[in-house]
Structure 1
Amino acid sequence: MTTLPYTPTPATLKEPAISRMLFADPRLAPLWLLLRLYVGYEWLSAGWGKVTNPAGVWVGEKAGVAVSGFLNGALAKTGGDHPDVAGWYAWFVQHVALPNAAAFSYMVAYGELLVGTALVLGLFTGIAAFFGGFLNANFLLAGTVSSNPLLFILATWLVLGWRVAGWWGLDRWVLPRFGVMEQPALLPADPVNRRQGQPVR
């Protein structure tokens, strides 16, 4: 008799019912739709304003002018006993971002536009919300508060609820193609002969 090698089954963590209801229940899709559209509209309008700016200070001949002003303002907030901008982020601004202000200008403008478009359409909602939160975090690290704390919190919620946040959106049709949506479990073959009540040999 040949004994097959024992293969341990990896442990899985059970998802609490409240977590599943909030972040994976399609019945709450209308709530997530409102949240997603609000955050998406904020990013879409911000990005569209930068891309279509008539002065071209974000995208165009003068690309980098607006970002340079923003970054220099961040550097001015690094002094004092309680600086608004951390020293390590100031180093990043001075040595990485400012020398490449034009490139960062394009990335910010089109990044906001792409994040907003994806959220409004409900396409790869979790990924779009993650990058939106990443933008918010960078603005906050640069000492700019404005609506960034609220949008960062909402983006975090959208990341947590990615399975249902795009249910009323393109994710409902796109995500199953990547195998990330639940499908009804297939029952294993029944090893019992139902007519005789004996194991199949």
Structure 2
Amino acid sequence: MEEKNVSLLGRNIVVPENPVSRFLFSDTRSAWIWLVIRLYVGYEWLSAGWHKITADVWTGEKAGSALQSFVKGAITKAEAGKDVSGWYGSFLENAVLPHAKLFSYIVSYGEVLVGLGLILGLLTGIAAFFGGFMNSSYLFAGTLSTNPVLLVLTTWLVLAWKVAGWYGLDRWALRYLGTPWRRHE
């Protein structure tokens, strides 16, 4: 049983790892669960990003116009006190709206990269983190759709980063990045 040492007021207290969390987040036998979740979330991100990359209003001649419309709608909601916090509306108005074309490319290609990272199981925890970050941004902007579900799933994938990419490229890539897996003996 893996144990963690916690120092509390100068005393060292050993807290045993919960068997359920150990199975879900540290045991490669749970990797098939994460594979299913990873492929679903990755497909959602890849298809959303691909739709944007191939749309003229996101990355084409009219790049940024779709994002401008989205942001203006969120700002209107914030001004009306509905669904969007004032601070986030202010952020959108002062930081995103003036640079809508740049953010349009960042969002489009970011969604594709998150999708590919999750589908391939490459840097799964990082890809899931950025997917969750984008989901949070959409939720702050007052858009529900699939964002709450995807946010929950990406949060779980971040927690399971050690085994979520086991059936993917992380199985080999993380060894070279200083996070090797080893067998319990």
**Fold similarity call, TM over 0.5:** yes
Offset of 1:22 from its aligned partner? 0.9
Identity of aligned residues (%): 56
Check 1:12–1:70 CA distance in 2 against 1; reply closer, same or farther (3 A cut).
Answer: farther
Offset of 1:182 from its aligned partner? 3.3
5+ residue gaps, structure 1, are 1-9, 186-201
What secondary structure, in the 3-state scheme, does the structure 1 residue paired with 2:78 have? Answer: coil
When normalised by structure 1's length, the TM-score is 0.82
Offset of 1:105 from its aligned partner? 0.1
CA separation in 1, counterparts of 2:52 and 2:13?
48
2:4 aligns with none
CA separation in 2, counterparts of 1:14 and 1:64?
51
What secondary structure, in the 3-state scheme, does the structure 2 residue paired with 1:58 have? Answer: helix
Match of 1:50 among 37, 49, 52: 52
Matches within 5 A, 1:1-201: 14-53=16-55, 56-80=56-80, 82-183=81-182
Q: What is the count of residue pairs matched by the alignment?
A: 175
Offset of 1:130 from its aligned partner? 0.2
The answer to which structure has the higher helix fraction is 2
Bigger CA radius of gyration = 1
Runs of 4+ in 1 over 6 A off after TM superposition: none
Q: Retained in 1: the 8 A contact 2:79–2:86?
A: no
What secondary structure, in the 3-state scheme, does the structure 2 residue paired with 1:117 have? Answer: helix
What secondary structure, in the 3-state scheme, does the structure 2 residue paired with 1:84 have? Answer: coil
Offset of 1:43 from its aligned partner? 0.1
5+ residue gaps, structure 2, are 1-11
CA separation in 2, counterparts of 1:13 and 1:122?
31
Letter in 2 for 1:114: L
Letter in 2 for 1:43: W
Deviations 1:117-139 (A, max 9, x none): 01000000000000000000000
Offset of 1:15 from its aligned partner? 2.8
CA separation in 1, counterparts of 2:96 and 2:14?
42
The answer to which structure has the higher strand fraction is 2
RMSD: 1.9
